[in-house]
A and B are shown apart, each in its own frame.
Chain A
């Protein structure tokens, strides 16, 4: 049987310090199909696409990329673009202050001699917008568009580059039902025009609806490739392949008696003063002593914003209404310092961006939020500091030569353990963990989970924000689901399934109210 492959990736292996992100992956895409790539977070989907597009240059990985029969060695993303590959990421790469037409042609402007031919660009942009079904003036600025429309502009941009192979990385993650349906229709339309499409998505319902072929990745290897044209593939079948291993092994069991309510938020409504938009609406939640409460939801549901607004409100949101109670006392934190003093801690989702001081060493980071514990009158006790840091290094198994090693040289998992140690040194009673296992390998995840169990056993209450549904179900006692700034559901972890959570996470406000 001879198939017409537009893309063959053979035996791709990509290693990062301490982690094998891809291990001998062979991935083949036929011309003119919609090929879905699924897998848990961290399974290697994005890494595979970065290898393909040249973000990771040829030579930084092992294996071979063959495009329409020709072996390729992309050194840069522009090399793959020239071969007709376009990739659209989860986080859109548009310029909000520029009009649509300029965004579409940025980087490959149509030239007349040495000047940009703006008229031609506007005419072509209008044609492209029509092709993606966006009925809007190309002079409109990006910031005035909705997320779904912006997504379509990204696709128009890709089409303007004469794309043969279009890669979409979770395009519908931030879209509502209607926008998602539109986008999927567009993909089918493009397919009929001969564009091949690789779709990365967590939304299995969509995958089952549009896919011709489904490839499942797990822990950096291809589990299976299913042909959805021959027979109908069910969501359950995909999940089975995605999860594969024994869930009991990933999420260590705990036996903790849950106590009284330790922390409670009532009617929390918050407005972002920059846009005037209500980002949180009447949020109610509580967490008990010794309990792990999961906070699930899609990207942009407002979970991180909730955490930040509670934890001293660093972004300066306008808190319109609501009250919070911590250990029986009503609180209003003006600064994270107040929150820390009262026993709250927040481990950020972006440990490199706003979690750790990367150019400083492990001990500096661990002692930062509670440095006063080491101060003798005015002087910080350096020796005591090293002792404290060493204690955490041992008990958390932070793998580093010494606590005087700079944090930016540690692996993701060890950085995350350092973040945790830092906050436990502050002795919190309520700990908010924002995506605690993002971007770290399975082994380190297990260690983080074990630490969480140990903490709740000591009586700490944990609120865990996570986009990994299996993690939320596996680690929580109770789960709140957020969508568009409101809590759209609360469910006991024993009764929770991915489908139930997803259904609530994709609810729009109108449905919930």
Chain B
């Protein structure tokens, strides 16, 4: 959507067209992802006669994407440093069940959430220990974890079967919306949501302008003012459209808030801190990283711990969404998370990837699930479609990278 706009205005002037072309060529990987998402949205909107694009369904999509997005963010780091974690599906399932059990035993929800998150970190610590200290390959460590946590999930749900969750606060996690301001009742939309949207647009434009100014001050290459402006307008429109969709329904879902916070933290750590640099350096060349004084084992250990934390969070989001813990919760989550990361541009060779793009990857995967569910497509066929999209994305990624090198 955004790309078409940029292309349209580029035809006016020759030099502008050239700039757009070079922008397009150098960012083809990212743009392809947005285009894919737009095409998926378009196809489902048409085939479901508009049902897909309805506020209700889009909010549903956000809630559905939440747990996968959280897992995919953790997985992105794992994949950047050239490891893998196959256990997270059942780790999430198991920890979700643990949360349900603790709640049904009368624990306070504000005690349950940190306890389960801590359990997630413990799982990550255990797997990180095996991978770094004992040097068991991550594939083996986490495959074993997949077995064990699947078993543990079955064990804790064996007596009762499905465990129902009734705690109101906990259910809000994946089914609730942020409250409105006291005087919001005077409007026929969710006032706080609109204000947040407007605030976001303002913050985005402010930070973009500041970034551009610093680029100019250091005399680095910048886009032409036209393209810069078009980009800001396009992004603002997109944010406002999304805001309006949410505001005209029931406001911002708590899931969106949680995912955004996680995303902002991880994006900050990866792009702005030393730890983030070390992650990319290890993925790019672990030996060189080690000889540059980076403690590869320590970073790897932390990345696995963070993965455990994210698995715990995802498990609780999923349990909250279903309002229950089931013996099959978590089945295949790791595949969605891995696929989201790769579709979002994590390189199969390691060392490359952004959590912000992983979120788009997660949206692609979950839009497919959501849309096909609306159409009543058989679940077996859904797997085939998702697998095909996944392998296409990676094949495209590899070919564009090869061309960039030549």
A interface residues with partner B (beta carbon < 8 Å): 311-312, 314, 335-337, 339-341, 346, 348, 353-360, 364, 368-369, 371-372, 375, 378-380, 383, 386-387, 402, 408, 422, 426
Give bound CA distance, A422 to B288, whole Å: 12
* B129 interface residue (CB < 8 Å to A): no
Q: A311-B291, A336-B291, A383-B218 are in contact. List 7 more A-B contacts (CB 8 A).
A: A312-B293, A314-B287, A353-B288, A364-B281, A386-B220, A408-B405, A426-B293
* B399 interface residue (CB < 8 Å to A): no
Taking the nearest CB of chain B, how far is it from the CB of A392, in angstroms?
15
Give bound CA distance, A161 to B65, whole Å: 61
Give bound CA distance, A336 to B285, whole Å: 15
Taking the nearest CB of chain B, how far is it from the CB of A136, in angstroms?
35
B281 surroundings in chain A (CB, below 8 A): 357, 360, 364, 368
The answer to whether A386 and B285 touch (CB under 8 A), given A335-B295, A337-B295, is no
- The 8 Å CB contact of A359, one of B277, B290, B294, B351, is B351
Taking the nearest CB of chain B, how far is it from the CB of A302, in angstroms?
18
B214 surroundings in chain A (CB, below 8 A): 383
A336 surroundings in chain B (CB, below 8 A): 290-293
The 8 closest A-B CB pairs, nearest first, are A357-B284, A354-B287, A337-B293, A340-B293, A369-B292, A357-B285, A336-B293, A368-B292
A387 surroundings in chain B (CB, below 8 A): 218
* B352 interface residue (CB < 8 Å to A): yes
Highest count of chain A CB atoms <10 Å: which of B285, B293, B295: B293
A355 surroundings in chain B (CB, below 8 A): 288, 291
* B274 interface residue (CB < 8 Å to A): yes
- The 8 Å CB contact of A380, one of B220, B274, B291, B352, is B274
Give bound CA distance, A336 to B292, whole Å: 7
Give bound CA distance, A359 to B83, whole Å: 18
Nearest chain-B residue to A371 (Cβ)? Answer: B274
* B289 interface residue (CB < 8 Å to A): yes
A372 surroundings in chain B (CB, below 8 A): 274
B352 surroundings in chain A (CB, below 8 A): 359
B149 surroundings in chain A (CB, below 8 A): none
Taking the nearest CB of chain A, how far is it from the CB of B354, in angstroms?
14
B interface residues with partner A (beta carbon < 8 Å): 214, 218, 220-221, 272-274, 277, 280-281, 284-285, 287-295, 349, 351-352, 405
6 contacts between A and B (CB under 8 A): A312-B291, A357-B288, A359-B284, A368-B277, A369-B293, A379-B272
Nearest chain-A residue to B405 (Cβ)? Answer: A408
B284 surroundings in chain A (CB, below 8 A): 357-360
- The 8 Å CB contact of A314, one of B221, B273, B277, B290, is B290
Nearest chain-A residue to B351 (Cβ)? Answer: A359
Taking the nearest CB of chain A, how far is it from the CB of B347, in angstroms?
8
B288 surroundings in chain A (CB, below 8 A): 348, 353-357
A360, B280: Cβ atoms closer than 8 Å:
yes
Taking the nearest CB of chain B, how far is it from the CB of A232, in angstroms?
48
- The 8 Å CB contact of B277, one of A353, A371, A383, is A371
Highest count of chain B CB atoms <10 Å: which of A312, A358, A369, A422: A369
Give bound CA distance, A380 to B405, whole Å: 28
A380, B273: Cβ atoms closer than 8 Å:
yes
B277 surroundings in chain A (CB, below 8 A): 364, 368, 371, 380
A383 surroundings in chain B (CB, below 8 A): 214, 218
Taking the nearest CB of chain B, how far is it from the CB of A401, in angstroms?
10
B291, A354: Cβ atoms closer than 8 Å:
yes
Taking the nearest CB of chain B, how far is it from the CB of A393, in angstroms?
14
Give bound CA distance, A378 to B269, whole Å: 9
Nearest chain-B residue to A426 (Cβ)? Answer: B293
Give bound CA distance, A408 to B288, whole Å: 14
A312 surroundings in chain B (CB, below 8 A): 291, 293
Give bound CA distance, A360 to B282, whole Å: 11
Give bound CA distance, A402 to B292, whole Å: 23
Give bound CA distance, A346 to B292, whole Å: 9
A364 surroundings in chain B (CB, below 8 A): 277, 280-281
Taking the nearest CB of chain B, how far is it from the CB of A225, in angstroms?
39
A357, B293: Cβ atoms closer than 8 Å:
no
Give bound CA distance, A311 to B287, whole Å: 13
Give bound CA distance, A286 to B220, whole Å: 46
B218 surroundings in chain A (CB, below 8 A): 383, 386-387
Highest count of chain B CB atoms <10 Å: which of A312, A356, A368: A368
A380 surroundings in chain B (CB, below 8 A): 272-274, 277
A378 surroundings in chain B (CB, below 8 A): 272-274
- The 8 Å CB contact of B274, one of A314, A340, A375, A402, is A375
Give bound CA distance, A256 to B214, whole Å: 43
Give bound CA distance, A348 to B405, whole Å: 24
Give bound CA distance, A106 to B349, whole Å: 30
Taking the nearest CB of chain A, how far is it from the CB of B216, in angstroms?
12
Give bound CA distance, A386 to B218, whole Å: 9
A371 surroundings in chain B (CB, below 8 A): 274, 277
Give bound CA distance, A268 to B396, whole Å: 52
Give bound CA distance, A426 to B272, whole Å: 20
A348, B272: Cβ atoms closer than 8 Å:
no
Taking the nearest CB of chain A, how far is it from the CB of B18, in angstroms?
18
Give bound CA distance, A422 to B295, whole Å: 17
Nearest chain-A residue to B269 (Cβ)? Answer: A378
A358, B285: Cβ atoms closer than 8 Å:
yes
Give bound CA distance, A426 to B351, whole Å: 23
B351, A357: Cβ atoms closer than 8 Å:
yes
Give bound CA distance, A356 to B281, whole Å: 9
Highest count of chain A CB atoms <10 Å: which of B288, B289, B294, B295: B288
- The 8 Å CB contact of B289, one of A340, A341, A357, A379, is A357
Taking the nearest CB of chain B, how far is it from the CB of A511, in angstroms?
34
A422 surroundings in chain B (CB, below 8 A): 292
B273, A354: Cβ atoms closer than 8 Å:
no
Taking the nearest CB of chain A, how far is it from the CB of B349, in angstroms?
8
- The 8 Å CB contact of A346, one of B220, B272, B280, B291, is B291
Taking the nearest CB of chain A, how far is it from the CB of B298, in angstroms?
9
Nearest chain-B residue to A348 (Cβ)? Answer: B291
The answer to whether A379 and B273 touch (CB under 8 A), given A356-B288, A357-B281, is yes
Nearest chain-B residue to A354 (Cβ)? Answer: B287
Give bound CA distance, A375 to B294, whole Å: 15
- The 8 Å CB contact of B285, one of A339, A346, A354, A375, is A354
Taking the nearest CB of chain B, how far is it from the CB of A410, in angstroms?
13
Nearest chain-B residue to A378 (Cβ)? Answer: B273
Taking the nearest CB of chain B, how far is it from the CB of A421, in angstroms?
13
Give bound CA distance, A360 to B292, whole Å: 14
Taking the nearest CB of chain A, how far is it from the CB of B211, in angstroms?
10
Taking the nearest CB of chain B, how far is it from the CB of A431, in angstroms?
14
Give bound CA distance, A120 to B281, whole Å: 51
B349 surroundings in chain A (CB, below 8 A): 359
Nearest chain-A residue to B289 (Cβ)? Answer: A357
Taking the nearest CB of chain A, how far is it from the CB of B345, in angstroms?
13
Give bound CA distance, A11 to B277, whole Å: 48
A337 surroundings in chain B (CB, below 8 A): 293-295
Nearest chain-B residue to A386 (Cβ)? Answer: B218
Give bound CA distance, A372 to B277, whole Å: 11
Taking the nearest CB of chain B, how far is it from the CB of A89, in angstroms?
23
A339 surroundings in chain B (CB, below 8 A): 293
Nearest chain-B residue to A339 (Cβ)? Answer: B293
